[in-house]
Amino acid sequence: MSAEDKTLTVLITGASGGIGGAIARLLAAQGHRLLLQGRNAERLQVLRASLPHSDSHLVLAADLLDAGLRRQLVERCAAIPGGVDVLINNAGVSTFALLADMSDAELARTLHTNLLVPMALTRDLLPLLQRSEHAAVINIGSAFGHIGHPGFAAYGASKSGLHGFTEALRRELSDSAVRVHYLAPRAVDTALNTAAVNDLNRTLGNKSDSPETVAQLCLQLLQGRASGRRFIGWPERLFIKVNALFPALVDSALAKKLPLIRQFAQQNIQASK
Ligand SMILES: NC(=O)c1ccc[n+]([C@@H]2O[C@H](COP(=O)([O-])OP(=O)(O)OC[C@H]3O[C@@H](n4cnc5c(N)ncnc54)[C@H](OP(=O)(O)O)[C@@H]3O)[C@@H](O)[C@H]2O)c1
């Protein structure tokens, strides 16, 4: 039986957000059973009620930065009859700011949420996932994890780290049935991006995708037979290759945009005060 035919139990972190909600709607429409994770219990309940077969889905609200609550989440997953087949590490935060304007607390929150939490949660859920013949982990990264972008130093570092983690884990588990995927969107139309980020993207001509586009690729990875790595968007996929081979080209292209990026980053800081 392939993952396409089987009803999978899927834990989605950040299901109360834009991309997590779109993934939940698509997977629920495919008949999968969802464990909807996020901090905002009310939003998760509204999402659950809107999904097909709403009674089969569970809301597991918790702040994942709290190690105790994370442990309780793993225990609740372990108690689910039939276990958990898939973990989608999607919860994330982003701050658009120059490094000089980021406090220790903001740096820690970004790296903790986007990198340490997916690592710890994956480690703690692996024994459970390994009982499933359809086991998979999908880490939601970002194009900024492959193209260092001014104004996103901490965010980019967290997503580069998430990619490195995914690659190493994929190889570490290559003799097991667990598939380990990495999905890196470019800009997506969600509340993660502040008005200043949207203004920056518009001004620089950066395209953005709908959360549903990301969800479709997530489903494709889930249905694939091997671990996969996907980058969303053209020309971003080309820029990622150019950046890997000729980083000086990307350095000079971004240097020309730096005054504008600085201006929007400062606008962002002012708006958040
Ligand atoms: N939007 C983009 O442009 C874009 C581009 C590339 C990659 N991504 C990645 O896509 C993923 C989803 O982002 P999104 O655009 O859907 O953002 P979003 O709408 O802001 O949603 C973020 C989600 O993460 C959850 N979350 C944040 N901190 C958490 C914590 N400590 N514990 C538990 N949940 C937490 C939020 O929960 P609550 O709302 O309940 O607090 C929310 O459900 C992120 O990893 C992001 O980096 C986004």
pLDDT, tens digit, for every residue of 33-80?
999 999 999 999 999 999 999 999 999 999 999 999 999 999 999 999
Cα of 17 to ligand 1 centre, how many Å?
6
The answer to whether position 4 is within a domain reads no
Q: Please state the domain count of the chain.
A: 1
The answer to whether position 3 is within a domain reads no
**CATH number assigned to the domain comprising residue 205:** 3.40.50.720
The answer to whether position 2 is within a domain reads no
Residue 22 pLDDT greater than 90, yes or no? yes
Domain range for 13: 9-272
pLDDT category at 1 given cuts 50, 70, 90 is very low
Q: Distance between CA 148 and CA 143 in Å, rounded?
A: 9
Q: Distance between CA 179 and CA 220 in Å, rounded?
A: 13
pLDDT, tens digit, for every residue of 144-172?
999 999 999 999 999 999 999 999 999 99
Q: Given phi > 0 = left and psi -120 to 50 = alpha, else beta, which region is 151?
A: left
Report the pLDDT value the prediction gives residue 74, as an integer from 0 to 100: 98
Q: Distance between CA 159 and CA 201 in Å, rounded?
A: 19
Which residues lie below 8 Å from residue 42, measured CB to CB, with a gap of 6+? Answer: none
Token pair 């962002």 in the structure block, residue: 268
- Residue having the nearest C-alpha atom to atom 44 of ligand 1: 92
Report the pLDDT value the prediction gives residue 51, as an integer from 0 to 100: 98
Active site residue 182: no
The answer to whether position 219 is within a domain reads yes
Provide residues with CB under 6 Å of ligand 1.
13-14, 16-20, 38-40, 43, 63-65, 90-94, 113, 140, 142, 185, 187-188, 190-193
Ligand 1 site-directed mutation target among 12, 13, 16, most atoms within 8 Å of CB: 16
pLDDT category at 5 given cuts 50, 70, 90 is confident
The answer to whether position 1 is within a domain reads no
